[in-house]
Structure 1
Amino acid sequence: MENRKVYLNHHTNLLELEEHMYPLVDVDTPNVFRNLFHYDEIPKIAFNDRIVPHHMPDEIWITDTTFRDGQQSRAPYTSEQIVTIYDYLHRLGGPKGKIRQSEFFLYSKKDRDAVYKCLEKGYEFPEVTSWIRANKKDFELVKEIGLKETGILVSCSDYHIFYKLKMKRSEAMKHYLSIVRECLETGIRPRCHLEDITRSDIYGFVIPFCVELMKLMNEYQIPIKIRVCDTMGYGVNYPGAVIPRSIPGIIYGLMVHAGVPSELIEFHGHNDFYKAVNNSTTSWLYGACGVNCSMFGIGERTGNTPLEAMVFEYAQLRGTLDGMDTRVITELAEYYEKELGYHIPPATPFVGKNFNVTRAGIHADGLLKNEEIYNVFDTAKFLDRPPLVSVSNTSGIAGIAHWINTYYKLKGDAQVTKESPLVVELKKWVDVQYDEGRVTVLTDHELVDKINEISETMKIDF
């Protein structure tokens, strides 16, 4: 106790006692946490009520994996599509570069061509980084292209170390450190992807490994980033939950016990248990500066943390968008659907076609009187998407006019009124549908088809 150092934590302004060192715990048999992860049972969430403090960093940001993890579950993007999406990400991130980085594959000529074209843009943000196989040849490729950072896979659970790599922990650590050292020798910043961290022995392997990484960082004076990969989506944000499932516990351990600074910690979540967004936000709250996302959550299995979700999480936590242009999210959604043929589920928050559509009659009545009653925020301002009222037997002629104006984004003199011939004729058709026994709301597709038919018949320029 007498030899442990007392130091001032400048983030909390409290004197703290230096923690004990955590050496590698080498084991002969893997610790796969059978008490939590019994394969023929649903995984368990256990608690020990050990609470760690909030530690929101001074600055937080988003990083992007749309072209790496987001591309592993869909047909590969063309080089032109990658460049177009990269342009959108640059605009979305705003002048402060809140979308800090984007990672790319380098395996094929198509991938490398896209990287070169994105680099030619000259954008400071998102910084172009890579994800490669952990070998010297690929490190040299990264250096040749001119990238300053690359991701390296360093799987950290005993599931991977024993069953996939067929190694012991000490062998895996030695292997990983040699790979990271090779990367540092080329002058490139390594980003260590700690795969499957939420099933790993945090204090028996992860913390000792990260301590050694920090030693290498000091030796080479090159930053080493730690990506906290919740590969299977097992992470939880509940206070007092036990590690390795506790995201607050993992972030705390990395900062306090491994000495990893917040700006070098990045969370990468998957959505297997519907927790990707909450776990990403929790990582910010407990000390990680970065959260890694993909557009619309497209990624392996159930997907990654949706990037657009974290834009709005950022604004809710910080009270400002810090220059992010959220209208670009709608442009991206339209690009994915029209140009890439990607179907966004209609109920998807912020981007699904029904996310701000009111169907219930009583809700529609309230929305028409004051849209704040049933709209999450000014969606017209932030997403170029005014709220819609679906058309049914309770909509009335005013509701039909409102639907046309909002769906077609008509402004000023171009707007239709209750007296417009198109609206009057459409109202007659709607009434007939419900007079004949219909009970469901009319779909956008049905309404558009009927509007086109009426416009052609009545020679209305619409």
Structure 2
Amino acid sequence: MKKSSYEYKLNNVDSPNFYKNIFPYDEIPKINFNGVQIPKDLPENIYITDTTFRDGQQSMPPYTTEQIIRIFDYLHNLDNNSGIIKQTEFFLYTEKDRKAAQVCMERGYEFPEVTSWIRANKEDFKLVKQMGIKETGMLMSCSDYHIFKKLRKTRKETMDMYLGIVKEALDNGIRPRCHLEDITRADFYGFVVPLVNKLMELSKQSGIPIKIRACDTLGLGVSYSGVELPRSVQAIMYGLRNNCGVPSECIEWHGHNDFYAVVNNSTTAWLYGASAVNTSFLGIGERTGNCPLEAMIFEYGQIKGNTKNMKLEVITELSEYFKKEMEYAVPPRTPFVGKEFNVTRAGIHADGILKDEEIYNIFDTDKILGRPVVVAVNQYSGHAGIAAWINTYYRLKDEEKIDKWDTRIAKIKEWVDEQYKAGRTSIIGNDELELLVDKMLPDISQKKEERAS
């Protein structure tokens, strides 16, 4: 990408710019439009990076070494050497985390590559050198909220500090990944662009790529066209590509879900110039969470038309591991991983599924995720709902399927109706329905036993 000939210089202001016209704090944030239309710039190669062991872990009870290694193996199996899940990042502060990172490196997997995360100081950097890790992320807060209020420095002092730690990384042959924290509240052309231009100069001098991770720390990014900086995801990507000359393969987007926009913003970052989006499994992360890794796998598949040779059924296996081993409660209607994400209760939907599950199922969830479509039975299900439950629960195919007009279905329907006449309010459980099928349709139960054996 050709860099703009205009030279952006650091605006070392005496007083901070908090964009109070956009972020008044005592009101919800504002979206200002300027009408500028930015062209799409989808890179040829896009991929996913993972922060389950960094941003994800700090939002959960600390993971054990064994849990980290097991999850890492799951991520590798999910990627299946497709290179779509390209990297994952580790903390290095505790003996437990260092041991886990070491074991994962010793696995010898190409994907995901083990990287680290540190604060921008020399003491943290020593840990990276000791571990022999090839790439490290380093925190570079870039909004005046952080520069003036947290770091208590000037913009120039902050920039000099960041450049110093990057130089040390380069001197040691380590790839720096610069985490531009709070970029969606930062003075983009007064601080971000001058900083990134300096980083690109260092990259050119050293011959080592420097990655730029644009961090939407509070989920304030906006994906719509014609939005003003600093909130515009499109404009941020455009500026990094065109005003700083950052190659797409060196741009990542790291989003949060505070305003329900994390998936849209991440996809927009891809579409407008970033090769990578940063995610965590199940979206576990600070406050409302990070971008869910599983969501971006399906975004990738829709954009690229395939997911290469990924094993998407591992998404189901890993989510079950989090539920059982980590005791993590996944909301039941969470897309792709919730226990009810492909469950239908509406009678008219059940009738459609009875005729052909393509009518009301998003894709072949059984084939792709190992999650057959399920019909819940309640007072509204009717004959079709009960027949659909039997067909989906017992995985009956073609001529094996039970028709809603089967007289045995009517007997089960009578039992269900009596339950709700007696005041029941909950759905009919699978275990209850199994007993009814054992009694009314023993041939169906026999088929289930045969499949299990």
Q: Residues 340-351 of structure 1 correspond to what in structure 2 (within 5 A)? A: 340-351=326-337
- Shift of the alpha carbon at 1:324? 1.8
Q: Percent of pairs identical after alignment?
A: 59
Seen in structure 2, the aligned counterparts of structure 1 residues 360 and 416 have a Cα distance that, compared at 3 Å, is closer
Match in the other structure for 1:448: 431
Does the aligned pair in 1 maintain the 2:345–2:381 contact within 8 Å?
no
What amino acid is the match of 1:447?
A: N
Match in the other structure for 1:286: 272
Match in the other structure for 1:51: 37
1:235 matches 2:218: no
Task: Name the SS of the counterpart of 1:72 in structure 2.
Answer: helix
Match in the other structure for 1:173: 159
Q: How many Å separate the matches in 1 of 2:158 and 2:368?
A: 48
What amino acid is the match of 2:364?
A: D
Q: How many Å separate the matches in 2 of 1:31 and 1:387?
A: 52
Task: Name the SS of the counterpart of 1:86 in structure 2.
Answer: helix
Q: How many Å separate the matches in 1 of 2:290 and 2:411?
A: 46
Match in the other structure for 1:3: none
Match in the other structure for 2:79: 93
- Shift of the alpha carbon at 1:141? 2.2
- Shift of the alpha carbon at 1:161? 0.3
Q: How many Å separate the matches in 2 of 1:19 and 1:427?
A: 74
Does the aligned pair in 2 maintain the 1:157–1:196 contact within 8 Å?
yes
Counterpart pick for 1:120 among 80, 102, 106: 106
Q: How many Å separate the matches in 2 of 1:422 and 1:193?
A: 62
What amino acid is the match of 1:176?
A: Y
Match in the other structure for 1:310: 296
Seen in structure 2, the aligned counterparts of structure 1 residues 369 and 453 have a Cα distance that, compared at 3 Å, is closer
Counterpart pick for 1:77 among 63, 74, 85: 63
Q: How many Å separate the matches in 2 of 1:449 and 1:218?
A: 68
What's the RMSD between the two structures over aligned residues? 2.7
Does the aligned pair in 1 maintain the 2:347–2:382 contact within 8 Å?
no
Q: How many Å separate the matches in 1 of 2:66 and 2:398?
A: 37
Q: How many Å separate the matches in 1 of 2:431 and 2:124?
A: 52
Match in the other structure for 1:13: none
Task: Name the SS of the counterpart of 2:14 in structure 1.
Answer: coil
What amino acid is the match of 1:214?
A: M
Q: How many Å separate the matches in 2 of 1:80 and 1:422?
A: 50
- Deviation digits for residues 59-83 of structure 1, max 9, x if unmatched? 0000000010011111111111111
What amino acid is the match of 2:317?
A: E
Match in the other structure for 1:12: none
Q: How many Å separate the matches in 1 of 2:99 and 2:393?
A: 39
Counterpart pick for 2:142 among 153, 156, 177: 156
- Deviation digits for residues 177-234 of structure 1, max 9, x if unmatched? 1111112222111110000000000000000000000111112211111000000000
Match in the other structure for 1:140: 126
Matched length: 445
- Shift of the alpha carbon at 1:247? 0.3
Counterpart pick for 2:347 among 326, 339, 361: 361
- Deviation digits for residues 426-458 of structure 1, max 9, x if unmatched? 6554232133254x5615xx33256469979x9
Unaligned runs of 5+ in 1: 1-8, 10-15
- TM-score, length of structure 2 as denominator length: 0.91
Between stretches 281-290 and 76-85, larger displacement belongs to 76-85
- TM-score, length of structure 1 as denominator length: 0.89
Counterpart pick for 1:105 among 91, 110, 127: 91
Q: How many Å separate the matches in 2 of 1:257 and 1:406?
A: 55
Counterpart pick for 1:299 among 279, 285, 296: 285
